[in-house]
Chain A
């Protein structure tokens, strides 16, 4: 059993919870390699994907995870939801609660909205990304992938590179790494750093070359290219030169070092094609782990324990 009813914030979980989720995901990973990828475990349970912000990858990953556990999964997305008609999130929560949903996965553009939801309904909540705050299942699948590729988590040095300030991925990954005994280092232009990196529990450095030789993992964040006014760096060209992952930097990493990216990638900006396609980039392993980790999270929140996985 997890120590928390919800997975909203990494700080809701203990190191033991993290280990339990990763170990449980190991068992589900095996299921995902079978020809019949389905377990009866959550039959009769209702899981709602409440996606109030466009998302394809994350929503699909949760959807597949729910289906593989035989849960009844319902998609409630922004375009079809009542929210565009002006219904408040609190009313949406109470409506879903009245329909007796067991678990709600919520993604929303505003920080703290999963907490608001939790106050208005009885269901378990998984935060699928709230504004610039957190995205805990992404951090869990990242830990899973690191452990799978590097054999352990404790003692790893993980450089998280790019737009830290606006990244909910970093918001969860930094505390998650601290909890498992790894060392996160935040790398990027100070214009993309949060006010207080120390509060997240990480050091920050200005350029990637300062730390590249120490890294077990280079975790490249997506640069949002659509923003123009108040651009936090002079050009994509300069960004790529100073903070991009390329073959020279890959060679400068520890020989066992890997490159990660939460997707979708901007090839040629934060990551070169050569690196993205190399066997040291584990981007697709992350996607693959995502399904197993989300199955584990759903399974454990809805009352299962590790012993039931084999069913």
Chain B
């Protein structure tokens, strides 16, 4: 079956492409890119006024299956991903049971093949049960399809264990994804330590809790030579450490989330809305501006959602009792278009770098590009469409979005995974 994407503005900085042209896709691959192309039979998608880019990837998604299917599962999570314009997601291992052995990875790979709307790349646990103690079977998990390893949600507290984990990971050339948080400093902290923790009377988590962990893990990356990716950076200080490490040539990458880019701790007062409870917590305006600057100057490698679905009854609890996290897959692209692109802070090539190529490079996923012969993982974006973020907007099972009520600019209209529609005309393909 042939497919023709007609008259879109096709943008891929990896092949220096930014032109209005057509793309012909056959058998899951791009066969030709050029002007005035046609196909004898097949499907033609009119893409005039739309932006055609390499498929977006989210390197930080909580699909919740197995164990927490009431929050999300592989099917609903990948529907949400397609709806948000992503052709692939990387699934974090904090499921129940934890994804810390080959069989668990195989389950996820098989489930995704059976029910997934987009590609699912499993991230395995670094340590057994995410306990921060014994090494998990990384080799076994890689053999079953794991692409990287993380104790996301907790972080490995003991420096000796982290060193051992990173040394061991080097055998496979794989990436360690660090959740940077010194628990002794976080204590019972549920919000950023500072003005808002004082004002709202809740225990705070200081920026130093992240910065110390970032500094440690960068030092361990230098010691071990392991590839390090830092998850959800939230502080100006943490980002500065990454900038300095990159200048020294350390093999380190980092991600930031839309909620840390576009919200601050001030959102919490006075209503204690639990949709703003996340870990790391929302920080200050100075931190937020530093993250945006890091995005623009290239210190930040990618935008990742940390999509963390929770059921309404869990988020309806007292703030200090409610679980951490906001959903993100379906709002990330419109947020970036609205708050960065439309304001001229980044251009489309930057967006492709931050949401398509950067994520793939950070986790060592297969690179793609918009040229003949490449795998046809493609996202088509309608930059003028309106996205009203309401509970009924979501394909995710959960609606715990920090951006509920927002009206955003832009949304994905088509998502192609290996030449097959996952999203068409803005609707997830069943």
Interface residues in A64-101 (C-beta closer than 8 Å to B)? 88-90
Determine the distance from Cα of A130 to Cα of B319 in the docked complex, in whole angstroms. Answer: 11
Q: Using C-beta atoms within 8 Å of the partner chain, give the interface range for chain B.
A: 20 to 34
User: Is B318's CB under 8 angstroms from A89's CB?
Assistant: yes
Q: A195-B204, A200-B199 are in contact. Are A111 and B193 (CB under 8 A)?
A: no
Shortest CB–CB separation between residue A197 and chain B, in angstroms? 7
User: Is B313's CB under 8 angstroms from A88's CB?
Assistant: yes
Chain A CB within 8 A of B145 CB: no
Determine the distance from Cα of A168 to Cα of B202 in the docked complex, in whole angstroms. Answer: 10
Determine the distance from Cα of A114 to Cα of B198 in the docked complex, in whole angstroms. Answer: 17
The listed residue (B193, B197, B270, B318) touching A110 by CB distance below 8 A is: B318
Interface residues in A95-120 (C-beta closer than 8 Å to B)? 108, 110-113, 115-116, 119
User: Is B198's CB under 8 angstroms from A200's CB?
Assistant: yes
Determine the distance from Cα of A168 to Cα of B201 in the docked complex, in whole angstroms. Answer: 7
Q: Which of A131-139, A215-223, A268-276 contacts B (4 or more CB under 8 A)?
A: A131-139
Q: Using C-beta atoms within 8 Å of the partner chain, give the interface range for chain A.
A: 20 to 34
Q: Which residue of A lies closest to B197 (CB)?
A: A195
User: Is A112's CB under 8 angstroms from B199's CB?
Assistant: no
Shortest CB–CB separation between residue A107 and chain B, in angstroms? 13
User: Is A131's CB under 8 angstroms from B202's CB?
Assistant: yes
Shortest CB–CB separation between residue A117 and chain B, in angstroms? 10
Residue-wise interface mask of A (203-246) relative to B, using a CB-CB cutoff of 8 A (1 in contact, 0 not): 00000000000000000000000000000000000000000000
Chain A CB within 8 A of B158 CB: no
User: Is B200's CB under 8 angstroms from A199's CB?
Assistant: no
User: Is B204's CB under 8 angstroms from A9's CB?
Assistant: no
Determine the distance from Cα of A171 to Cα of B202 in the docked complex, in whole angstroms. Answer: 11
Shortest CB–CB separation between residue B188 and chain A, in angstroms? 10
Residue-wise interface mask of B (184-225) relative to A, using a CB-CB cutoff of 8 A (1 in contact, 0 not): 000000000111011111111010000000000000000000
Q: Which residue of B lies closest to A170 (CB)?
A: B201
Chain A CB within 8 A of B321 CB: yes
Determine the distance from Cα of A88 to Cα of B321 in the docked complex, in whole angstroms. Answer: 11
Determine the distance from Cα of A151 to Cα of B272 in the docked complex, in whole angstroms. Answer: 38
Q: A88-B313, A111-B200 are in contact. Are A196 and B318 (CB under 8 A)?
A: no
Instruction: Decide if the interface of chain B is mainly helix, strand, loop or mixed.
Output: loop
User: Is B201's CB under 8 angstroms from A130's CB?
Assistant: yes
The listed residue (B193, B271, B316) touching A195 by CB distance below 8 A is: B193
The listed residue (B195, B201, B272) touching A196 by CB distance below 8 A is: B195
Q: Using Cβ atoms and an 8 Å threshold, which residues of chain A touch B206?
A: 195
Interface residues in A141-193 (C-beta closer than 8 Å to B)? 168, 171
Interface residues in B225-276 (C-beta closer than 8 Å to A)? 270-272
Shortest CB–CB separation between residue B196 and chain A, in angstroms? 8
Determine the distance from Cα of A196 to Cα of B201 in the docked complex, in whole angstroms. Answer: 11
Shortest CB–CB separation between residue B198 and chain A, in angstroms? 4
Chain B CB within 8 A of A262 CB: no
User: Is B316's CB under 8 angstroms from A90's CB?
Assistant: yes
Chain B interface (Cβ < 8 Å from any Cβ of A): 193-195, 197-204, 206, 270-272, 313, 316-321
9 A-B pairs with the lowest CB-CB distances in the bound complex, closest first: A133-B201, A112-B272, A110-B318, A194-B198, A132-B201, A111-B201, A196-B198, A199-B195, A110-B320
User: Could you jot down 7 A-B contacts, CB within 8 Å?
Assistant: A111-B272, A111-B320, A112-B319, A115-B272, A195-B195, A195-B198, A199-B198
Taking A194-B197, A199-B195 as known contacts, 12 extra A-B pairs with beta carbons closer than 8 A to each other, sorted by chain A number, are: A11-B270, A88-B316, A90-B316, A110-B318, A110-B321, A111-B202, A112-B320, A130-B201, A131-B202, A132-B201, A133-B202, A195-B206
